[in-house]
Amino acid sequence: MQWGRLDIAGAFSRRRTAADSVVRDPATGAVVGYIPSMPAEAVEAAIEAAHNAFAEWSAVASPKRARLLRRLSQLIGDHTDDLAELLTAEQGKPLAEARAEIGSAAAYFDFFADEARRLNGEIIASSRADSRILVSHKPIGVVAAITPWNFPASMVARKVAPAIAAGCPVILKPAPQTPLSALAMAVLARQAGLPDGVLQVVTGDAASIGTLLTHDPRIGFLSFTGSTATGRLLYAQCAGTIKKLGLELGGHASFIVLPDADLDKAAAAAAAAKFRNSGQTCVCPNRFFVHEAVYAGFLERFLAHVDRLVPGDGRDPKSTLAPLIDEPALAKVERHVADAIARGAQLTRGGRRAAIGGTWYEATVLEGVDQTMLVSCEETFGPVAAISSFTDPDDVRAMVNASSYGLAGYIWGRDIATLLKTAESLDLGMVGINAVHLGMEMAPIGGVKQSGLGREGGHAGILEYCEQQYLLVGV
Ligand code: NAP
């Protein structure tokens, strides 16, 4: 399959069969490509190839690993237009968002090219004069990576870049809705000079592939991004081999507006964070808590942003609101909105499928939301802002911390002491204070509680793919 200057078929050696699954454009329903349903033997062969590649790849000197990763980053950057169009075609987000995501993917490879050279060990002062304690970081082994559809390029890069930088071959299973971005990156990885077996993509039945990857003792680490339900299942499946896991799971972010907030900036940031990718982001605010003193002012500004959103095909530069990925996603949003209205929420904007049809849902604002509603308890994963006002910040803290999710949250205000103390009191892996762009390659991304285990990005990101080895040396 050719996409612009990319020959994605290069990632596979077989032709289409009846068992292949179809990748469709969520905006038009058109076929974007076909993906093989790989039999168990092919997945086994990938594990064997990765296992065989491990000894050699982990022994490659770090400057060479760094050069290959940087070359891959450059190739991704050079192919930004093709990759962004491919991403929009299979995922649906506006082209500007797709380009930003490709930029982020390239940045992860560039950052971890440097990190490959910073796997420094440690000499620890021994309690005995006749010994020295040396600690080094060794690559953990073959990595299995399973990724979701909402960020088909950057979720892949967040796993593949640090794993390969640490010296670990990767077997990647992308989401079936959006596998082509992953395949395109694998093609570019080959062009960058990555040896055979260091990055392989497997596609097909998720449960069967997941069972093979989690049960195989040759795999040292499972890195998963997706729903908490699937993460929980994979966690259990890894118990048999005591496999280390990285889990980036569901979020249910809160957006808190304190009485001294800059309302213009808070409203603009709230709308950007809420409606990016039509609310299909793990760090997307689900619940908005606005202090009663500034409620009216915030709402007026927020609605002005909502009213400017334009649902449409991502390739049209005027489009700013993406379609939802599929019918089940749309049905979930409808269920959440209906439940909120039935329980007494007020519908201020939207609340139905968009007139343009397909899987678009109108940008929706609910007011008078309480904590019994589905929108307050579960990820909606759609363009629905559920807003309530508050008087006492302690009540908000309790409501945020009552959630079983603990991925991200946002606070807007001016008094730095209040902002810091509030942020520190929240059981969240990440808090944006007067800022919403959390996903940077040098920062440790991840959640607490049922939002996950471990961190992606930053120096912590490469250490996830390493085991410490302690050497006691007698002298
Ligand atoms: P999902 O249904 O859990 O699927 C994620 C991936 O897991 C897909 O590739 C899926 O493949 C695969 N999968 C499903 N069941 C499996 C099994 N039994 N064994 C192995 N693999 C299996 O999640 P999603 O709906 O695609 O993604 C949305 C979720 O991801 C949201 O909850 C969102 O918050 C979360 N997310 C979290 C982060 C973060 O950084 N914390 C980032 C992005 C997204 P199939 O589709 O073929 O089943």
pLDDT digits (tens, 9 = 90+) for 414-437: 999 999 999 999 999 999 999 999
Rounded average pLDDT over 357-377: 97
- Name the least confident of 7-11, 50-54, 467-471: 7-11
Cβ neighbourhood burial of 38 (10 Å; 0-12, 13-18, 19+) = buried
Give me the pLDDT at residue 7, please. 74
Give me the pLDDT at residue 5, please. 76
Give every CB contact of residue 155 below 8 A, 6+ residues apart in sequence. Answer: 147, 148, 225, 248
For the entire predicted model, the pTM comes to 0.96
Q: Which residue has 């989401």 as its token pair?
A: 175
Give me the pLDDT at residue 97, please. 98
Asked if 88 contacts 28 with a C-beta cutoff of 8 angstroms, the reply is: no
- How far apart (Å, rounded) are the C-alpha atoms in residues 121 and 17? 50
**Banded pLDDT at 13 (limits 50, 70, 90):** very low
pLDDT digits (tens, 9 = 90+) for 193-228: 999 999 999 999 999 999 999 999 999 999 999 999
- Catalytic residue list contains 377: no
**Banded pLDDT at 10 (limits 50, 70, 90):** low
Give me the pLDDT at residue 15, please. 55
Atom 18, ligand 1: residue with shortest CA distance: 207
Q: Which of these is catalytic: 90, 101, 115, 248?
A: 248
pLDDT digits (tens, 9 = 90+) for 69-117: 999 999 999 999 999 999 999 999 999 999 999 999 999 999 999 999 9
- For ligand 1, pick from 38, 93, 108, 146 the residue to mutate: most ligand atoms within 8 Å of CB: 146
Give me the pLDDT at residue 212, please. 98
Element (H, E) at 222: strand 219-225
Ligand 1 neighbours by CB, cut-off 6 Å: 146-151, 155, 173, 175-176, 206-207, 210, 225-227, 230, 233-234, 248-251, 282, 379, 407, 445, 447, 452
pLDDT digits (tens, 9 = 90+) for 310-366: 999 999 999 999 999 999 999 999 999 999 999 999 999 999 999 999 999 999 999
- How far apart (Å, rounded) are the C-alpha atoms in residues 73 and 237? 34
Q: Which residue has 């603009």 as its token pair?
A: 268
Q: Which of these is catalytic: 168, 238, 282, 466?
A: 282
- How far apart (Å, rounded) are the C-alpha atoms in residues 234 and 136? 29
Asked if 247 contacts 454 with a C-beta cutoff of 8 angstroms, the reply is: yes
pLDDT digits (tens, 9 = 90+) for 292-326: 999 999 999 999 999 999 999 999 999 999 999 99
Judged by DSSP in three states, 123 sits in: strand
Q: Which residue has 């794993």 as its token pair?
A: 163
Rounded average pLDDT over 426-451: 98
Atom 46, ligand 1: residue with shortest CA distance: 175
User: Considering the chain, what percentage of its residues have pLDDT values greater than 70?
Assistant: 97
Give me the pLDDT at residue 91, please. 98
Asked if 327 contacts 318 with a C-beta cutoff of 8 angstroms, the reply is: no
Element (H, E) at 88: helix 80-91
Q: Is the pLDDT of residue 408 over 60?
A: yes
